[in-house]
Copies of this chain bind each other. A is one copy, B any other.
């Protein structure tokens, strides 16, 4: 079975045990894929950073970072994992299997990162770089840097809906400055996740976006 996966990523493992570990969820057995996921996440960030650097020679650092965050976040990885039909190759514990773990976005995204980590160990950075470049090429070609990505509030809302969590609450906590140069301070609270961030801006909207962006950062890191 995993040979099919090796064909679709165009990498043949020298050490098949690395592939097996990458596909093993912690609910199944040890060694499982969490350490490889940590490694693969780092490789992915570096490779995508460089792909964007080369594709957009004029773009400043901040834009490159935002584009990258967009490409490496869970739902992008999840879609790529689905393309590779990664779910059918996973080794999951019985409980996870029954509760639909093989289609859970976080499990699929993590396994794909673990696969990247395994390739790095198996055949070096250039090898994992080539695999990631092939997978990401259509996504990177499709980027129009002039067109803004979905704004932070929308992305936060979609992320929470995907997790079946209630929407965040935004609350004005202060206004500052003189009337002609007022600044708004807005809190974004996601109670279920114990997240409380703050944004400051020249408009309520701008302050909300900043607060949402910070909440997204916390969610993506955890």
Nearest CB to that of A207 among chain B residues? B194
Q: Cβ of A194: which chain B residues have Cβ within 8 Å of it?
A: 185, 198-200, 210
Taking the complex as formed, is A16 at the interface, i.e. its CB lies under 8 A from any CB of chain B?
no
Number of copies: 2
Q: Is the interface of A mostly helix, strand, loop or mixed?
A: helix
Do B39 and A49 touch across chains, with their CB atoms under 8 A apart?
yes
Q: Which of B45, B196, B218 is the one whose CB lies under 8 Å from A187? A: B196
Among A59-67, A86-94, A135-143, which stretch is in contact with chain B? A59-67
Q: Cβ of A49: which chain B residues have Cβ within 8 Å of it?
A: 38-39, 41-43
Nearest CB to that of A42 among chain B residues? B49
Q: Which of B41, B65, B125, B185 is the one whose CB lies under 8 Å from A125? A: B125
Q: Which of B35, B198, B199, B218 is the one whose CB lies under 8 Å from A53? A: B35
Nearest CB to that of A40 among chain B residues? B49
Q: A-B pairs with the 10 shortest C-beta distances?
A: A42-B49, A196-B198, A46-B46, A38-B61, A42-B46, A34-B61, A194-B200, A125-B125, A39-B53, A35-B61
- 8 chain-A/chain-B pairs, Cβ below 8 angstroms: A38-B49, A42-B49, A46-B125, A50-B120, A125-B126, A125-B129, A197-B197, A217-B221
